[in-house]
Structure 1
């Protein structure tokens, strides 16, 4: 059971109503995470603005590969379910690729490097090694793109932390267990 209170639909603060309407239109319903965030319109706005801005820095498959790798590393069941659900609707993102992303890899070698790097960012708390940077650069990523990868990983950390603190009730299909890389 979620540990933080979400406002009832009638009690959603004015500053959050429009945002929730947009979320509902996008998903066909308002996921519990967003309903909970609506209790603080400023926080909801920060999360939505950050997600919207970051949707322009890397392609969707790369962003969701990062989200799956980071959410697995953080043990965020809600975010794993959400990103698995969204990723499964992306063209060219198979269930095998989703499972690999969660394990810090990918069918695509370039996205595999991103998944490994994102997990290293999380596991090392940003103290990645020169070899980690060389690997992601070797996969073809530029320094501006590496900044985008780190920023997307941190945005995912934000929602992971919110959902882990809340123990958000899962209102989307749950993600199956996948082992993390060793």
Structure 2
């Protein structure tokens, strides 16, 4: 059970009701538990997060790239909520169940560009300081532009934000279980 009690969504008023309406529009009528908690506690924060996610949706990265990043970061962070969410969203973006498992387990997917992205994101998440010049050269050699690297940075940052909040809240997972 989530640590933060959330009143019934139908009882929301003001900015919270407004941001829930925005989430419903984006999510097809549902308000996932993560967004319910954030909207209740900090509607402006949730609104800013939705704005950032909107920027990512129209960024230079494909949906598969975004879900690869989000799933990998969530796995490395240990956020069961986001792992479940991004496994489902990754499947909806066209990643196979096998690829999703390989991403989570740090195994090659057989797609050299995706594998370069996984290596780069893993390096960013598991090392400290400025990354090695060879790592930057490798991701560029995989045909990722500097603009895409800026978008990778935002995807990582947004995922760490939601991972952190879910780890604090122990948010009830309302996505299909991950094997």
When the two structures are superposed, what TM-score results if normalisation uses the length of structure 2?
0.89
**Of 163, 168, 171, the match for 1:165:** 168
When the two structures are superposed, what TM-score results if normalisation uses the length of structure 1?
0.87
Aligned to 2:101: 99
Cα pair distance change 1:28/1:157, threshold 3 Å: same
SS of equivalent residue, structure 2 residue 171: coil
CA distance in 1, matches of 2:129, 2:155: 13
**Of 51, 54, 64, the match for 1:52:** 54
| Between structures 1 and 2, the one with greater helix share | 2
The Cα of 1:169 is off from its aligned counterpart by: 0.7
For this pair of structures, how many residues does the alignment match?
Answer: 175
| C-alpha contact 1:114 1:136 (8 A) present in aligned 2 | yes
| C-alpha contact 1:34 1:44 (8 A) present in aligned 2 | yes
The Cα of 1:103 is off from its aligned counterpart by: 2.8
> RMSD of aligned C-alpha atoms?
1.8
Give CA deviations for 1:26-83 in whole Å, capped at 9, x if unaligned: 2552211011011111111011111111111111000000001111110110000001
Stretches of structure 1 that go unaligned for 5 or more consecutive residues are 177-182
CA distance in 2, matches of 1:84, 1:27: 18
Q: Which runs of 4+ in 1 moved over 3 A?
A: 104-107
Residues 1:71 and 2:74 aligned together: yes
CA distance in 2, matches of 1:126, 1:80: 26
